[in-house]
């Protein structure tokens, strides 16, 4: 084994170790997401309840406003009909105005009752909203310490990831671009292992398929870019 093949082998394997470590650290960073969700869950459920009640109150207020306007309009009609009643000249005309007035009064009466009922509902939903908002404030206060602790821990792991990445880039910078390119494409394809040293008896160090003799010799002597025909990893000179 020449010095050169050993260096390439060691550098690629070191890079791979670091990349595996970085992957593990990134998995840890991601695992904070579900943990944060779980901690925030009680407050989030209450937030949904508050939002639903707010929507309900808003809808009821719109409906109440619509009915109040309709009632107001009927009140004006009622007044006009009552004025007309004072000016009728025939019994028949009076009967017609009375009939219309009766209809308007009944409709107005119904709308006024509905407005009263809506105001009553709005009052009850607003009380519920107050209770839900108080519970939400309380829940937010109680989840805050756990949430902050998780965020602080995640930040620690994030800075660890950044430190590893910087170290990794230094190692990568020392590897011949041809090797680095193939290695990185293999890693990007989602493999856990992109490079493996050949075993002493000439097999791929990842899948243990035997490597043709001619290639074995090349790997040991000149360190060409050899990839295992069976599993595709870069096979480097034996590590021992
Ligand atoms: Zn293989």
How many C-beta neighbours within 10 Å does residue 209 have? Answer: 12
Would you place residue 1 in the very low, low, confident or very high pLDDT band (cuts 50, 70, 90)? very low
Can you give the residue range of the structural domain that contains 136?
14-173
Distance 203 CA to ligand 1 centre (A): 8
- Domain CATH number, residue 42: 1.10.287.1490
Burial profile 121-131: b = 16 or more Cβ within 10 angstroms, e = fewer: ebeebbeebee
| Mean pLDDT, range 194-215, rounded to an integer | 93
Ligand 1 mean position to 78 CA, how many Å? 94
| Cα–ligand 1 centroid distance for 221 (angstroms) | 19
Q: Within a domain: residue 156? A: yes
Centre of ligand 1 to C-alpha 26, Å, is 27
What separation in Å is there between the alpha carbon of 212 and the centre of ligand 1? 12
Residue 4 lies in a domain: no
Whether this model's pTM surpasses 0.75: no
Instruction: Mark whether 51 and 90 lie in a shared domain.
Output: yes
Q: Look at residue 1 and tell me if it is in a domain.
A: no
> Is residue 44 domain-resident?
yes
Total number of domains constituting the chain: 2
Alpha carbons 126 and 61: distance in angstroms, whole number: 11
Give per-residue pLDDT as tens, 153-176: 999 999 999 999 999 999 999 988
**What are the pLDDT digits (tens) for 19-73?**
999 999 999 999 999 999 999 999 999 999 999 999 999 999 999 999 999 999 9
Q: Do both 50 and 104 map to the same domain?
A: yes
């Amino acid at each position: 084994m020449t010095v050169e093949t050993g260096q390439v082998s060691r550098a690629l394997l070191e890079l791979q170790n670091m990349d595996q470590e970085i992957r593990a650290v990134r998995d840890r960073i991601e695992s904070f997401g579900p943990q944060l969700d779980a901690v925030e869950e009680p407050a989030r459920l209450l937030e949904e309840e508050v939002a639903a009640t707010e929507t309900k109150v808003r809808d009821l207020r719109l409906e109440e406003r619509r009915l109040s306007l309709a009632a107001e309009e009927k009140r004006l009609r009622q007044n006009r009909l009552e004025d007309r009643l004072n000016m009728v000249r025939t019994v028949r005309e009076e009967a017609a105005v009375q009939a219309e007035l009766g209809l308007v009064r009944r409709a107005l009466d119904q709308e006024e009752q509905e407005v009263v009922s809506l105001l009553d509902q709005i009052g009850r939903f607003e009380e519920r909203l107050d209770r839900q908002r108080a519970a939400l404030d309380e829940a937010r206060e109680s989840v805050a310490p756990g949430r902050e602790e998780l965020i602080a821990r995640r930040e620690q792991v994030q800075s660890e990831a950044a430190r590893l990445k910087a170290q990794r880039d230094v190692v990568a910078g020392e590897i011949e671009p041809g090797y680095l390119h193939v290695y990185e494409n293999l890693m990007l394809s989602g493999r856990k292992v992109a490079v493996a040293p050949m075993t002493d008896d000439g097999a791929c160090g990842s899948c243990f398929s035997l490597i043709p003799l001619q290639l074995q010799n090349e790997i040991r002597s000149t360190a060409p870019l050899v990839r295992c025909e069976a599993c595709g990893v870069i096979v480097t000179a034996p590590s021992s």
